[in-house]
Amino acid sequence: MPSEPPALENLIAKDEIRDLVQQYCRAVDRGDLALAAALYTDDALDEHGFNTSNTVREFLDSLEAMFSGLAATQHNITNHLIRLTGADTAEGEAYLVAYHRAERKGVAHVLVTGGRYLDRYARRDGQWRIAHRKCVADWSHEFKAPLRAHGDDPVIGNLAEGRMDGDDPSYAFLSALPRGRRV
């Protein structure tokens, strides 16, 4: 069978990298730290600003405590530029809007942040992984928001409620998406 043309290989690689970044958002938003860990190379770095060693292990270890203070989080990727720099390397800039809700003393606090993931990717054993990530915050807004009972909302009514753990409805409903277990 003839080999794929380079243009098609490039498109496939870019699609796999986009999927990688979207899997990262899913892993963080569902509190699936095992899945998040699997998306990095073994020697990866992640500069999130609060992990002083910039190691992925320190970053992931700090998320467990951070999750316990959050009621919900959602990371949305908007623009995503990807440039292949070699057969198994690439760089990317993914714009994101991240929503975080925490309840403190009966008051909901919301933090909405716009920023970018500056990424270096590496393909290892045929799989694209994040090799180095540097987070950039471009803007953020924090405000208090009223608490509302989920079932009392006329728009979302009795929809299934998202969770930051393995009991999220997506785990029971979707069988083809990757999942890990909490570490």
Q: Is 75 exposed, middle or buried (0-12, 13-18, 19+ CB in 10 A)?
A: buried
Alpha helices in 30-95 (DSSP H): 33-38, 56-68
Closest by CA position to 73, among listed 22, 25, 24, 143: 25
- Separation between Cα atoms, residue 150 and residue 129, nearest integer Å: 37
8 Å CB contact between 117 and 92: yes
CATH entry, 6-173, from 3.40.50.10470, 1.10.10.10, 3.40.50.2000, 3.10.450.50: 3.10.450.50
The pLDDT, as a whole number, for residue 182 is 36
The pLDDT, as a whole number, for residue 164 is 82
Q: Return the domain boundaries, the chain.
A: 6-173
- Separation between Cα atoms, residue 45 and residue 31, nearest integer Å: 20
Closest by CA position to 117, among listed 61, 74, 79: 79
**pLDDT tens, the chain, 183 aa long:** 556 568 999 999 999 999 999 999 999 999 999 999 999 999 999 998 888 899 999 999 988 888 888 888 999 999 999 999 999 999 999 999 999 998 877 788 999 999 999 999 999 999 999 999 999 999 999 999 876 555 566 666 677 788 888 888 888 888 877 777 433
Amino acid residing at 5: P
